[in-house]
């Protein structure tokens, strides 16, 4: 249904025409479209109200409840020559654990050494007594014996050095160290082979060398508390291996059965 606008009604009144009375039931004022300009004004008014409300809230928060003076400042970092470091909280002192005061008691020696008058049927040599081996001399908490037997001119000469020590705990390691020492002292010492160490235990090895043009044999043993070196001049290696256990038994004596 066509409905005249208020402007058209006004124009009709101005021309003297009698306007048609429109029944209220036939005309709905909400059917009239809202002008575009009015809608933009409404949106702008709403946005302005939101901004004004936010500014008002910020003003009240800032001036009525200001933040603490150092609330937003970073924690100072100590640098050399600029400021003192921030002190760390002290930790409660802890009492160090009690250390054991039980003294270490050396192991009792279970073997002893003899300096026999004869060795393998050989009398003491008329030659000057040789100096004990330097490596064995480092084990000084036990007993040290040394001597020379027989005569070099007869090609039946033996030199021995032996020591007891509570420091000889690992024979497998000590025998390697001893053999390395012997080869350093005598670069001609070769063919070192393990041999049976007998009832006295431990580990033993023998090898061959030369003294000038004369054959030389060397045997060494290391037990849990004993160490010894035997050197034969003018004796083949095979004979030295057969004699090694006998000579060791004449030098080393167990203290327990």
Q: How far apart are CA 160 and CA 247, in angstroms?
A: 9
pLDDT tens figures, 11-38: 545 555 554 544 444 444 444 555 555 6
Average pLDDT (151-172) is 90
pLDDT at 119 over 80: yes
pLDDT at 218 over 90: yes
Indicate the helix (H) or strand (E) that contains 206.
Answer: strand 203-211
pLDDT value at residue 82 = 42
Whether the model clears a pTM of 0.85, i.e. scores above it, the answer is no
Q: How far apart are CA 152 and CA 130, in angstroms?
A: 13
pLDDT value at residue 79 = 40
Question: Do 142 and 242 sit in the same domain of this protein?
Answer: yes
Q: How far apart are CA 10 and CA 7, in angstroms?
A: 5
Domain count, the chain: 2
Question: Do 145 and 230 sit in the same domain of this protein?
Answer: yes
CA of 91: how far to CAs of 86, 88, 169, 201, 232, in Å?
A: 15, 9, 45, 57, 70
- Whether residue 183 is contained in a domain is answered as yes
Q: How far apart are CA 116 and CA 172, in angstroms?
A: 28
- Whether residue 182 is contained in a domain is answered as yes
Nearest-5° Cα angle at 76, 71 to 77: 150
pLDDT value at residue 250 = 97
Question: Do 58 and 115 sit in the same domain of this protein?
Answer: no
Its domain, for residue 34, covers: 6-64
- Whether residue 78 is contained in a domain is answered as no
Average pLDDT (136-159) is 89
């Amino acid at each position: 249904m066509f409905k005249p606008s208020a402007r058209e009604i006004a124009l009709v009144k101005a021309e003297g025409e009698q306007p048609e009375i429109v029944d209220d039931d036939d005309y709905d004022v909400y059917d009239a479209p809202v002008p575009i300009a009015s809608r933009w004004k409404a949106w702008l008014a709403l946005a302005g109200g939101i901004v004004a409300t936010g500014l008002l809230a910020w003003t009240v928060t800032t001036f009525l409840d200001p933040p603490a003076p150092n609330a937003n400042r970073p924690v100072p970092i100590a640098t050399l020559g600029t400021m003192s470091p921030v002190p760390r909280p002290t930790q409660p002192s802890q009492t160090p654990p009690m250390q054991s005061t039980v003294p270490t008691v050396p192991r009792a020696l279970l073997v002893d050494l003899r300096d026999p008058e004869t060795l393998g049927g050989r009398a003491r040599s008329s030659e000057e007594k040789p100096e004990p081996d330097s490596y064995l001399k480092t084990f000084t908490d036990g007993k040290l014996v040394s001597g020379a037997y027989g005569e070099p001119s007869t090609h039946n000469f033996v030199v021995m050095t032996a020591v007891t020590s509570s420091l000889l705990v690992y024979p497998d390691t000590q025998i390697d160290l001893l053999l390395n020492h012997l080869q350093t002292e005598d670069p001609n010492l070769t063919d070192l082979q393990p041999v049976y160490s007998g009832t006295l235990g431990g580990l033993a090895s023998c090898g061959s060398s030369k003294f000038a043009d004369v054959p030389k044999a060397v045997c060494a043993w290391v037990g849990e508390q004993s160490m010894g070196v035997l050197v034969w001049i003018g004796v083949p290696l095979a004979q030295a291996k057969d004699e090694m256990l006998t000579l060791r038994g004449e030098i080393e004596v167990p203290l327990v059965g």
